[in-house]
């Protein structure tokens, strides 16, 4: 995005009781080298809050803390964060598939093999009027998300669907940012839980301030 190195994340995503995930990301690609010496950084999303497993710092809000906390409102704005956290299916493959019925000119791009699975590749564009609650998250004015993406009035979506009508790969383009997700399997997952409050340092205000200055 914007010429930056792509960030890969691998782990568990859950949509059963609100959108949550527990993933590992490359530390350098995520630009977290100053906060952890590990080559990968564990990242959680729980109840609309991001947590990053950092090394305890000698001073500042992360002094002696194991986790950095950033509320989603710092990324999407207050209205956008409420829209996403208020929907248990936000970001889910099922919600994405339902969104295709509102898309303009869904293209069937034919058969492709993805991750060893036979799939059919579809492409569509969803405009702002048909984004549902995601509209507030993607168009909440002066936010970190919009400063990174350059703002967007539509989502270009590619989805590769297997014989069971389940997505194998999902690619979404938001302005200058492309997000690609590969799904290995679907099923029950362990609960993704927030770290103990005493182990977290809250950087939400600092991130918001930085976004306003971009």
| pTM of the predicted model as reported, rounded to 2 decimal places | 0.75
pLDDT along the chain (214 residues), means of 10: 64 78 90 90 91 92 93 76 58 65 78 94 80 56 57 79 89 79 80 92 84 58
The architecture of the domain spanning 9-212 is Clam (2.50)
pLDDT given at position 31: 84
pLDDT given at position 171: 87
pLDDT given at position 1: 43
Own/partner pairs, 90-95, CB within 8 angstroms, 24+ separation: 90/15, 90/18, 90/19, 90/133, 90/134, 91/13, 91/15, 91/19, 92/15, 92/19, 93/15, 93/166, 93/167, 93/170, 93/183, 93/186, 94/15, 95/15, 95/132
pLDDT given at position 2: 44
């Amino acid at each position: 995005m914007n010429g930056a190195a792509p960030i890969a994340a691998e782990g568990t995503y859950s949509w059963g009781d609100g959108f949550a995930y527990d993933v590992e990301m490359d530390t350098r690609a995520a630009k977290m080298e100053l906060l952890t010496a590990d080559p990968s950084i564990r990242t959680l999303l729980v109840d609309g809050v991001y947590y990053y497993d950092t090394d305890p710092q000698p001073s500042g809000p992360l002094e002696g803390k194991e986790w950095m906390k950033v509320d989603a409102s710092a990324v999407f704005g207050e209205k956008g964060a409420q829209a996403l956290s208020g929907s248990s299916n936000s970001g889910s493959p099922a919600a994405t598939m339902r969104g295709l019925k509102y898309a303009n000119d869904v293209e069937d791009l034919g058969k492709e093999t993805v991750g060893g699975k036979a799939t059919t590749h579809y492409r569509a564009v969803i405009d702002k009027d048909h984004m549902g609650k995601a509209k507030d998250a993607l168009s909440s004015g002066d936010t970190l998300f919009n400063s990174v993406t350059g703002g967007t009035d539509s989502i270009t979506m590619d989805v590769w669907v297997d014989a069971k009508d389940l997505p194998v790969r999902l690619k979404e383009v938001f302005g200058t940012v492309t997000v690609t997700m590969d799904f290995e399997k679907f099923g029950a997952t362990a609960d993704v839980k927030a770290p103990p409050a005493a182990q977290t340092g809250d950087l939400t205000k600092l991130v918001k301030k930085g976004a306003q200055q971009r």
